[in-house]
């Protein structure tokens, strides 16, 4: 695979269809799901002292639900997706900060 083919494949992976899903109707509302995408890639080529050459590349893509646009009676609303992992981490950080703050204030007295 040439570098140009690699880049074409990477661009094809980052289409709007990866961010916004197909709209569907439910209970009289149109729902358009959305996702957050993060991607990265790289490539290179080289030649050794014997004149042998090579090339390579890689690409990664992570998609997570972000939420959905809900359209009902001409009114559009954003409904965020709740990521349970992020919620657990946030609660853990708040609890840990509270414990450290209390311990620090008791120590200073």
pLDDT at 85: 83
What is the average pLDDT across 46-60?
86
pLDDT at 45: 83
pTM score over 0.75? no
The yes-or-no verdict on residue 1 having pLDDT over 80 is: no
The yes-or-no verdict on residue 51 having pLDDT over 80 is: yes
Residue 30 near residue 24 (C-beta atoms within 8 A): yes
**Cα 80 to chain center, whole Å?**
14
Over the stretch 58-107, which tens digit does the pLDDT of each residue have?
878 888 888 999 999 999 999 998 878 888 999 999 999 999 999 888 87
Alpha carbons 102 and 99: distance in angstroms, whole number:
5
User: Domain map of the chain by residue range?
Assistant: 3-81
pLDDT at 109: 65
pLDDT at 16: 65
């Amino acid at each position: 695979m040439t570098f140009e083919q690699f880049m074409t494949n990477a661009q094809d992976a980052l289409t709007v269809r990866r961010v916004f899903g197909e709209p569907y109707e439910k209970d009289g509302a149109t729902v358009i799901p959305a996702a957050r995408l993060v991607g990265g890639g790289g490539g290179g080529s080289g030649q050794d002292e014997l004149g042998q050459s090579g090339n390579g590349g890689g690409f990664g893509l992570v998609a997570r639900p972000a939420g959905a646009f809900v359209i009902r009676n001409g009114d559009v609303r954003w409904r965020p997706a709740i990521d349970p992992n992020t919620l657990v981490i946030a609660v853990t950080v708040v609890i840990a900060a509270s414990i450290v703050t209390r311990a620090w204030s008791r120590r200073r007295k």
